[in-house]
Chain A
Amino acid sequence: MDAERIANELAAVLGSENVVRDPVSLMTYESDGVTLYKAMPHAVVFPTTTDEVAAAVRIANNAGVPFTARGAGTGLSGGAIAAEGGVIIALNKMNRILELDIENRCAVVEPGVVNLWISDAAEPHGFHYAPDPSSQKACTIGGNVAENSGGPHTLKRGVTVNHVTGLEWVMPDGEIVEFGGKSAECVGYDLRGLAIGSEGTLGIATKIVVKLTPNPQTHKTLLAVFDSMQNASQTVSETIASGMIPASLEMMDRLIIGAVEEAFQFGFPEDAEAALLIELDGLEAGMEAQAERIAEICRKNKAQSVQVARSEEERQLLWKSRKQAFGALGRIAKDYLTQDGVVPRTRLPETVKEVYRVSEKYGIPIANVFHAGDGNIHPVLLFDQSDPEQVKTVLEASGEIMRACVEVGGVITGEHGIGVEKIEFMRLLFSEDDLNLMTSLRDVFNPNGLCNPGKIIPDDEPSQWGMTL
């Protein structure tokens, strides 16, 4: 392949201002949210229309050059890094909200629109976009579609796939097609469902129809602190079994609480082992009674304290401890790697125990902050990335945690995706036949294998990155 020729072709279609080639600028695109995995792209292009995306894809496809779509680069599995010699198609300039259709509770947006912008735009009408990944101030909807992103509020409302009804899609050969529309129903195969969560390997979303959710009349937020993880986990189980569905049920463990306390002085007790942030949303009528019932469950399970937010200000303060958790960890560790296992909710206590055992075994501090209501754990492994030994250990420890999740009937990712990081671990979850089926589906869309290669489905050649089996 003649790199120079391709770059010129791209510049001719997109304008030279939309093609980045100088090595210093390219370094920004070397990795996504996980800086452990790096690959320098050959060029980064910024299309501004669907036709330009299709043109860029066609140029790359015709030249046999691999290409990878990218949004804000906040992904946590290395899904948006370029393949060897590949081009990055950055969707950041396609960032318009094209339509707010309040009457039909949906919005049509371009892929580069930041997640939170949709809720901001819909707010005056009393609506929001429900999936709320922790990175929602930065991450883009296109990336959310690629990863099938979740967030704390997915317990009650579901993940991206439950909130996207239509896609305009550029196939890996440049053909522009549409899957679905403003209705969640479809006639024929649910290609939209297949496309969502395909981590950029089946094509590129250029327009997305998202559902808008009415804002709840009110919230009730509780923070319960426990002196044992066991009691906190038991509280989660009993809350779920009680017949109430909280909007979110978030757990933080001792290490997180310590880091948050050091950074922000929330006033957590010194011997706090776990904190549970529980939020109910819905109608005012009956809310008080339900909050009291949850508080009772907390107390029955020996909570040290149960705090109820009395105002929106207090609610935001309680959430701050959760939302700032990752920032606070930055103060106590040089680097961290966040894992993303899911287990059946009743298996949480033993799984968390296993995480602590792994931490001890490998001598790696692991903090835990997770979506307890979904059984979606996020063990955060603290380490120093500049030490190759530590990198090796952290990946081994991560692998052991993943195994523990699968052993109790769980999976290796709930919302971060497989990317390059967990690709070998797909073999733990899926049989050869299962993987062959996925390969067949990929071949239908992406027969030349140029559309974000090296992600999701393991190859015969082991991946150069991530965890090894």
Chain B
Amino acid sequence: MGNDPVNESAESLQKRFADVLDGGQIEIRADGFPLLDLHEPALVLMPKNAEQLSETLRCASASKTPIIPTGLGTALRLGNLPTADSVFLSTRLMNGIVDYEPRDLTVIAQAGLPIETLQKTAAEEKQRLALDPPNAGSLGGLIAMDASGPLRDAYGSTRDLCLGVRAALADGTLVKGGGRVVKNAAGYDVTRLLIGSFGTLGVVYEAAFRLHPMPVKTAEVSAAFESWSGAFETAANLARSELEPEWLAVLRQDEESAPTAAVGFGGHPETVEYQTKRAEAIMSKGKPTALETKADSEPTRLQMRGRLNGALNDASRMTCRVFAPMSAFADIVQAAERLRPSTWQIRFLSGVGYAVFDNPSAETVHALRDETAAREGSVVIESASVEIKREADVWGPPTGPLSVMRRVKLKLDPDRLLNRGRFLKGLDDE
């Protein structure tokens, strides 16, 4: 484990960073800060700007102090158990909008900015960041996780909407990738590499995003079915139609509910109205037990978010993200029935699903992984108890060569200070 600062007192750790940060920017035994897998952060460092961030990391690097980068701490339940006692580094004080030009439909903001604050600002201009993930607090969090929500079906994930980033590498070097323009082929796509890298390659402190116009009108149609196959067939029929939904989901909110297909539309009123009628017709053909249209809201999309959020923050439950070719989901869901998931939410067009288990064990993950792998898919544990994490790898096999990923990691963070142990198994091995 190398240097182990847990043996140091928080006070001695604090002294190490006192030259760089003010007292108010260092919290000892931060009470209000969310726990990470039972680990109470000994110290939370909160730099105010890029220079301080750089200095903080330089200082950590010089003393080989492991760091867990975080934003608002909303998604700390994600990731393997840390293998080093680490100091938290939060971007929460870097939370401003740097430049927002509504006519360009782009915004540059600091990583600690809550996504909700950005959405409010954009809404004043009838715009939005078309990302609606369940559990991201800050923009930096979106980036670390490559987060997305149901809207991913139409707009993609963070990787598709983030235009550029500024970050501090493990040794404090400040770098940038991409830019603020919507099209960019200059140099390697460092932005894409950092997005989804879970804070293991650097700490992103600023990012540019592409925004979309807020739809003038929205609507959703949902239909409940007696069986999963009814819901999946209906979703496939909607996908095959001429319709252009903003999201298309197959779900079951809890064990008492029926399998449901739900679809949401947004845009020009005439277009939305037409699509709503057509969706009703297509869904009716699947002989649903109930069919409901909401002309001006998307309650299902919002409920999906609330439901997942609840599950992700409940230590007794386990939430898994499953991704696979969309045609495989009907089979995966059927095969997983014996594992008794209470909730399934599948973003049909993206081939991404979430399964929540109320009485999970590591065995549940292994079984789900086997069923999914047989159908060219993967399973990531989004949230689980420490006991399960001790027995099951949160990430599972990577979708690319681990050897190359390790070389990237060691090149950028040779002392493996950033998020040690929390990302891919084997990534931090010497």
Q: Could you list which residues of chain A lie within 8 angstroms of chain B, going by C-beta atoms? A: 101, 103-106, 147-148, 150, 154, 158-159, 161-162, 171, 177-194, 196-198, 202, 214, 216-217, 237, 240-245, 282-283, 285-287, 289-290, 340, 342-346, 371, 374-376, 409-418, 422, 426, 429-431, 433-434, 436-438, 440-445, 456-457
Contact = CB atoms under 8 A, between A and B. Distances in A.
Contact of A187 (B105, B193, B398): B398
A409 B268 CA distance: 32
Contacts of A415: 183, 185
A444 B412 CA distance: 10
B275 A283 contact: yes
A286 B243 CA distance: 13
Contact of A188 (B175, B323, B350, B400): B400
A179 B351 CA distance: 17
Nearest to A287: B271
26 contacts: A161-B189, A161-B192, A178-B400, A179-B401, A182-B351, A184-B157, A187-B395, A187-B397, A188-B402, A197-B188, A243-B214, A282-B271, A285-B274, A286-B267, A340-B185, A409-B179, A411-B186, A414-B181, A414-B184, A426-B187, A429-B186, A437-B190, A440-B411, A441-B193, A443-B411, A444-B407
B317 interface: no
B175 A197 contact: no
Given A177-B401, A438-B187, A241 B102 contact: yes
Nearest to A415: B185
Contact of B101 (A180, A196, A344): A344
A283 B242 contact: yes
A163 to B, nearest CB: 10
Nearest to B411: A440
Contacts of B323: 183, 185
B271 A162 contact: no
Q: How many interface residues does chain B have, given as a range?
A: 35 or more
Contact of A183 (B242, B267, B377, B397): B377
Given A197-B189, A285-B271, 7 more contacts: A158-B156, A159-B183, A161-B189, A182-B376, A193-B192, A241-B105, A437-B175
Given A374-B182, A438-B190, A283 B271 contact: yes
A456 B327 contact: no
B25 interface: no
B187 A344 contact: no
B103 A416 contact: no
Contacts of B183: 150, 154, 159, 342, 371, 374-376, 414-415
B315 interface: no
Nearest to A347: B104
B182 to A, nearest CB: 5
Contacts of A438: 187-188, 190
B83 interface: no
A444 B395 contact: no
Contacts of B269: 286
A2 to B, nearest CB: 31
A101 B271 CA distance: 29
A344 B104 contact: yes
B274 A417 contact: no
Q: Which of A189, A375, A410, A418 has the most CB of B within 10 A?
A: A189
B250 to A, nearest CB: 15
Contacts of B160: 158, 162
B188 A194 contact: yes
A241 B211 CA distance: 11
B35 interface: no
Nearest to B179: A411
B268 A344 contact: no
A409 B193 CA distance: 22
A431 B175 CA distance: 8
B326 interface: yes
A259 to B, nearest CB: 25
A189 B197 contact: yes
A416 B183 CA distance: 11
A190 B190 CA distance: 10
A410 to B, nearest CB: 6
Contacts of A159: 183, 185
B103 A346 contact: yes
A245 B211 CA distance: 11
Contacts of A171: 404
B352 A409 contact: no
B411 A441 contact: yes
B280 interface: no
A73 B426 CA distance: 41
A95 B175 CA distance: 39
Q: Which of B102, B174, B179 has the most CB of A within 10 A?
A: B179
A246 to B, nearest CB: 12
A188 B103 contact: no
Contacts of A182: 325, 351, 376
A181 B212 CA distance: 28
Contacts of B5: none
B84 interface: no
B351 A104 contact: yes
Nearest to B201: A189
A248 to B, nearest CB: 13
A429 B184 CA distance: 12
Contacts of A436: 173
